[in-house]
Structure 1
């Protein structure tokens, strides 16, 4: 049996399951402080005999194995978790192999192995919600190096009608600052789900997302891009993003059939926890 921790900024999902990513039992608990949250995490896992654990964490995190702070959450705005040795705490508790990556990398792995990208070797997973985050699996391997992808903080060109300055505390109007859910709400004065019939809202959103997908396409050449998160519950966004991507690419490179290239998550909201279980199983291979 394997353990999985999908650590989000709002909630933790913990699960136990099989090496194929099947969840047998799970809990969800609020992200408060490391002391409070990790006590509940350990209380859950203490009841099981685990072979390995996979962690997909909110970030930024340190994934560089040569670093003194490998396994830490680093410069997060969630102050209690800043420079918390997450991986070390779990390893100290259970003395078993533990896989460590970002929550969105874990989701990309889940989608590649069990979800919407099962038939390809490379995919990008982008979540668009209260923030924007992206992960990638390229030729079957998680994309990591000195650090990990921070796909939500790339620079984007401003829409001609843009008046909003962006909300990212680090970069202002980066992709996250200009296209995440809070940006939509602050720009138009209402939450996105209340603006479903306002075409101008989603055309502007598609303008920004397509820019990002063009960059990921040109740099990573994934075989599939999966768009998830709360903002992408607006299904009218998918055709708008596809059309806008074609316009922006402007014939420079060939794209796969768009309905197969830009898709919804095959695992729904379970991509992350499934990926964490698969990551745990990989630690024994």
Structure 2
């Protein structure tokens, strides 16, 4: 198959690009996401793709959507930040564009991008975890994307690590997303600053602010990279939670490589170091089993576009038969 389009649908922006079989993005476009309207969101996706189709011979479109996607890669069953509920997105977009359309969970699409063309392109078994505002992830086993019986497998951010812990947006308490995400990093940083901690006050000064409410994840990352003790400690805590969670994930899937992406991964070795230490400490039977390698994602914000476009080239898996 020749050119395909990948569409990455976020809560605020729809990014689309024409992608070749080599994973390279050619033309690009974007639209704002009208997140409160199902019809307007579908229309914006169609407009972005149609703009690219007008100048390129495109054979299929892949859409990465944040939410639960059916196993036939057509229906968005549920999206936490968009208005989709049992939305037949694939069929709606295909009816307008007149080309085949597949829909995939956005974290799965990003993971596939890293597997096919990025940091895990030389292995057959990998886990990709994206650490941003929340935590997403995808798992590839034997060269195949793990979707599960209903298409909703590998929701890594919602693995529970603290029974009765912080309430998560999914409705449960104690998900790892509440302890190892960018949101958790900011929450803890603001809490320390509001407590009157002198170390946190120094961190705010390094960030050029005095009001804890103005503190952001990138500010903490920049302060930690500059060596601020409070910011470094915040990353150590986040990395510990992440590493402990990844030790459990590795026990389940036995990956050759674990790839860490998302906005928080901009901290680089600062995050990798603390996560790796916690991982090695908590991996069961650590002295008697091979350990996966750790690496940072290579494709950045393009991973979702590239992965969705490549998945559009591949036939949908056969639906699971329930007894």
- TM-score tier, shorter chain, comes to 0.7 to 0.9
2:94 corresponds to 1:50:
no
The alignment covers a number of residue pairs equal to 272
Larger Rg: 2
Judge conservation of contact 1:6–1:273 (CA < 8 Å) in 2: yes
For the residue of structure 1 that corresponds to 2:76, the secondary structure is coil
Give the deviation of 1:167 after TM superposition. Answer: 4.4
2:184 corresponds to 1:151:
no
Distance 1:200 1:250, change over 3 A: farther
For the residue of structure 2 that corresponds to 1:3, the secondary structure is strand
Judge conservation of contact 2:131–2:181 (CA < 8 Å) in 1: yes
For the residue of structure 2 that corresponds to 1:74, the secondary structure is strand
Distance 1:106 1:279, change over 3 A: same
Distance 1:43 1:128, change over 3 A: same
Asked which structure has the greater RCO (Cα within 8 Å, sep 6+), the reply is 1
Offset from partner CA, 1:53-84 (integer Å, 9 cap, x none): 12221102222x3xxxx622223233522332
Aligned-pair RMSD on alpha carbons? 2.3
For the residue of structure 1 that corresponds to 2:276, the secondary structure is helix
2:289 corresponds to 1:254:
yes
Unpaired runs of 5+ residues, structure 2, are 191-214, 317-323
Aligned runs of 1:86-105 on 2, under 5 Å?
A: 86-105=89-108
Aligned runs of 1:98-137 on 2, under 5 Å?
A: 98-137=101-140
Distance 1:218 1:83, change over 3 A: same
Match of 2:208 in 1: none
Unpaired runs of 5+ residues, structure 1, are 159-163
**TM-score for both structures, normalised by structure 2:** 0.77
**TM-score for both structures, normalised by structure 1:** 0.87
Q: Distance in 1 between matches of 2:285 and 2:101?
A: 44
Runs of 4 or more consecutive aligned structure 1 residues displaced over 6 Å after TM superposition: none
Judge conservation of contact 1:166–1:183 (CA < 8 Å) in 2: no
Which residue, 75, 82, 86 being the options, matches 1:83? Answer: 86
